Amino acid sequence: MIQIESLPPLTIPSGRTASVSLIDTTCTIDHIDVHYLVGPPVEGVSKLPCMPVYSFLVENLTGRKVLFDLGLRKDRQNLAPFVTASLAKASFEVNATKDVPEILAEHGYRVQDIEAIIWSHQHWDHTGDPSCFPDSVKLVVGPGFQKAYMPGAPARKDSPISESDYRGKEIVEINFDQQGGTRLSGFKAHDYFEDGSLYLLDAPGHAVGHIMALVRTTADPDTFVCLGADAVHDTGELRPSKYVPVPESIPFPSHTHMLGGMTACPGVWVEHLQAERGRTPDQSLFVTVHNHSIPDALDTISKLQRLDCDSNIFVVYSHDEALKGVLDEFPRTFNRWKQMGWDKQSRWLFLRHYVPELRAAKSQPGGNGIERA
């Protein structure tokens, strides 16, 4: 019998709410080798599922708007030369058909109304093309970013960003030791709007200056969405955990077409998969293996798991393919995530790619899709 670890206290100061929308940037990353990002391996699975790339629009009650990441710019040939050369050698496939400003315009949003672009980190599938935005739009980055990556190319040939990305724009590098050293679930936190609606979180490990965000989506009761960026690349790095081990029965969304007619997965199937790979039911399916600092990345994931087990916090990340077809996307918000049960519907969907019995069921007629009813 697995003993569920008691939850550490989690106190988040009261504050206002903000709206948050998930933007599908049209970028996809496909055919990434599993062993490149996570381990231990799952027999019969050599590639990770096709990864979407999300951007998030956050707006507070006074109308201040920020974008959290921008995905990949569609003219990727104009990325920094160092990045272009790296992608040319990559074994995976990358595609993007639109830039975020185009998606905003399609729904009546103006780029000049965006206050800031928050870069979770410097990677090409997050930085987009800030030159599409006017100089009034600030670039917000995490600690150590400017020292590590600026100036951009061509002044610095090995930089992953270009000078044109930030030319004419104010660069705001977050100092997490200001504001009295606020901490949320062990994360250093910065109250961006100064109204408690959007906290930026210092989340080192994946890259220098990697940051996440916590958005207050409702009040009384307080609920939150945590934008995990690249703290994980697969949900299997996050779940199960010492706080939420494998349940006896794992439900699939009731409003979807089931895998082979099933509505639930026996937890023992997952336990068997874990045991075969030397893992227990209270350990994550995968361990991260590819980051700037593995120890820092593991520490960040551990803290993120604390947030993930809270019923009032919905953890999403930049490449969570299980969100597709489950929650509302831009221009709608997904603030009503708890009311709609979207967190529960998407929580265990990642297992369909790895549990042998679920993979077999998915290949049966009528069992190969998770679709919106």
Pure H helices in the chain: 34-37, 81-88, 100-106, 124-127, 145-149, 163-166, 267-276, 294-308, 337-340, 342-346, 356-362
Residue with tokens 């990727």: 76
Please give the pLDDT value at position 264: 82
Cβ(76)–Cβ(88) below 8 Å: no
Please give the pLDDT value at position 129: 97
Please give the pLDDT value at position 248: 92
Q: What is the pLDDT of residues 282-338, one digit of tens each?
A: 999 999 998 999 999 999 999 999 999 999 999 999 999 999 989 999 999 999 999
Please give the pLDDT value at position 161: 98
CA separation, residue 310 to residues 25, 47, 95, 315, 359 (Å): 28, 31, 35, 9, 29
Comparing 168 with 372, the larger pLDDT belongs to: 168
Statement: residue 179 has pLDDT above 80: no
d(CA 274, CA 272): 5
Number of other CB atoms surrounding residue 191 within 10 Å: 18
Number of other CB atoms surrounding residue 227 within 10 Å: 28
Q: Phi first, then psi: what are they for 184, rounded to 5°?
A: -130, 115
Please give the pLDDT value at position 373: 24
Cβ(56)–Cβ(116) below 8 Å: no
Please give the pLDDT value at position 251: 83
Statement: residue 263 has pLDDT above 80: no
Please give the pLDDT value at position 241: 95
Q: What is the CA radius of gyration of the chain?
A: 20
Q: In the chain, pLDDT over 70 holds for what percent of residues?
A: 91
Please give the pLDDT value at position 256: 47
Q: Categorise residue 260: left if φ over 0, alpha if ψ from -120 to 50, beta otherwise.
A: left
Statement: residue 3 has pLDDT above 60: no
Q: Phi first, then psi: what are they for 343, rounded to 5°?
A: -65, -45
Counting DSSP H helices and E strands in the chain, the numbers are: 11, 17
Please give the pLDDT value at position 260: 56
Cβ(312)–Cβ(222) below 8 Å: yes
Q: What is the pLDDT of residues 119-153, one digit of tens each?
A: 999 999 999 999 999 999 999 999 999 999 999 99
Statement: residue 222 has pLDDT above 90: yes
d(CA 333, CA 268): 36
Statement: residue 41 has pLDDT above 90: yes
Helix, strand, or coil (residue 82):
helix
Please give the pLDDT value at position 362: 67
Domains assigned to the chain: 18-235+295-337 (3.60.15.10), 246-281+341-373 (no CATH)
Comparing 110 with 5, the larger pLDDT belongs to: 110
pLDDT bracket for residue 180 (50, 70, 90): low
Please give the pLDDT value at position 174: 97
Residues 294-312 as b/e (b if ≥16 CB within 10 A, e otherwise) read eeebeebbebbbbbbbbee
Statement: residue 370 has pLDDT above 60: no
Which residues, 6 or more positions from 330, have their beta carbon under 8 angstroms from its beta carbon?
21, 22, 23, 24, 57, 103, 107
Residue 345 tokens, joined: 């519907």
Statement: residue 83 has pLDDT above 80: yes
Please give the pLDDT value at position 44: 95
Please give the pLDDT value at position 353: 94
Cβ(66)–Cβ(58) below 8 Å: yes
> Region 232-254: what's the mean pLDDT?
90
Statement: residue 369 has pLDDT above 60: no
Please give the pLDDT value at position 177: 87
Cβ(252)–Cβ(264) below 8 Å: yes
> Region 353-370: what's the mean pLDDT?
70
Cβ(292)–Cβ(206) below 8 Å: yes
Statement: residue 91 has pLDDT above 50: yes
